Amino acid sequence: KDLAVSDMYTQYKMLFDFMDAIPDYIHVFIMPGNHDAVQRAEPQPPLPQELIGDFKKDNVHIVSNPTYMNLHSLDVLGYHGTSLDSIISSIPNNSYAVPEKAMMELLKRRHLSPIYGGNIIVPSKNDNLVMDTIPDILHMGHIHKNGMTKYHGVTIVNSGTWQGRTDFQVRQGHIPTPCIMPVFRAKDYSVTSIDFNR
């Protein structure tokens, strides 16, 4: 009921129409999450070709969840962040209001989904959610709430959302931060934000 467009294929077509408008000098990474048309179990594969269609731009990268990226010599670990729900509900003093604290808990444990049964995981011989490489930047979303901090040299960024507060979020007590885009400055490792609400 909160969707302006309910057809999945039309939604992805609109997404890629927006991506066409992004200038070539800006790189975009599209990573699936719990609302995308891929398997729910993590790690999640990139969006399938049937949803991408004929779209192709060298500056738009369709990646898996999670994914490691090297940007301007910085190691960036991107993860949608579904396991933040189990961290927040299981570890005292964590809340949806401060997502960066829950992200610190994942870094402490060197695992993206450390609570058994808290998240659907693909059965595999290898645990693909272990942080073998500690990133320079850990970036997540899922919570729809901006949060930024540093932990032992790692810059932690949880980006908000472009969607306003939904009825579901009201019932859950979530207060999102829509249309505020975090900006990481590689020259001094600072994180600022641009407020598109203005």
Residue 125 located in a structural domain: yes
Which tokens hold the place of 152?
């032992």
Residues in the chain: 198
For residue 103, give the nearest of 150, 40, 33 by alpha carbon.
Answer: 150
Alpha carbon 48 to chain centroid, angstroms:
18
Confidence of residue 167 (pLDDT cuts 50, 70, 90): confident
Residue 160 located in a structural domain: yes
Which tokens hold the place of 1?
């009921």
Instruction: For residue 12, report the phi and psi dihedrals to the nearest 5 degrees.
Output: -70, -35
Residue 152 located in a structural domain: yes
CATH number at residue 31: 3.60.21.50
Residue 1 located in a structural domain: no
pLDDT digits (tens, 9 = 90+) for 91-136: 999 999 999 999 999 999 999 999 998 899 999 999 999 999 999 9
Average pLDDT of the segment spanning 72-83: 96
Q: What is the domain extent for residue 78?
A: 8-195
- Residue 173 has a pLDDT of 81
pLDDT digits (tens, 9 = 90+) for 17-59: 999 999 999 999 999 999 999 999 999 999 999 999 999 999 9
Across 129-169, the runs of DSSP E, i.e. the strands, are 137-140, 147-151, 154-158
Rounded to two decimals, the pTM is: 0.94
Residue 79 located in a structural domain: yes
Contact assessment for residue 164 and residue 180, using Cβ atoms and an 8 Å cutoff: no
Q: Which residue has the tokens 């993590």?
A: 42
Residue 176 located in a structural domain: yes
Distance CA 160, CA 153 (A): 22
Residue 105 located in a structural domain: yes
Residue 3 located in a structural domain: no
- Residue 118 has a pLDDT of 85
- Specify the number of domains making up the chain: 1
- Residue 33 has a pLDDT of 95
